[in-house]
Amino acid sequence: MHFLCPSSDLQEGQARGFSVAERAVIAVRHQGTVYLYLNRCPHRGIGLEWLPDQFLDSSGSLLQCATHGALFLLDSGECVAGPCSGQVLTSLPCHENEHGIWLGALSHP
């Protein structure tokens, strides 16, 4: 398990980036639940953001690839618009407790 941050550092409707074991990770809180994804667009394998922690579209309701404009559901990582429509972000194991948000064990690619 890898500690990411205290729970208070990821508010409802917010997304943040982390680097864990040389992997880029996105954390997003949606309807009280934290979801973790590998920060890698399925279309080209690049990170979603151009600026640190800028992962959400203008409405704040979808993750957006800054390079291609692909849009992903917060709770499943499914691409609903863009060049990788129908594909999904790689979901990562997440655990939240009184100490904060944790990334579960990572498997090697």
Please check whether residue 33 lies inside any domain of the structure: yes
C-alpha distance from residue 34 to each of 10, 68, 79, 82 (Å)? 8, 25, 18, 24
Domain-located, residue 109: no
Which range of residues forms the domain containing residue 69? 2-103
Q: What is the pTM of this model?
A: 0.92
pLDDT tens digit sequence for 49-94: 989 999 999 999 999 999 989 999 999 999 999 999 999 999 999 9
Domain count within the chain: 1
Q: Indicate whether 26 belongs to any domain.
A: yes
In a domain, 108, yes or no: no
Give the H/E segment covering residue 108.
Answer: none
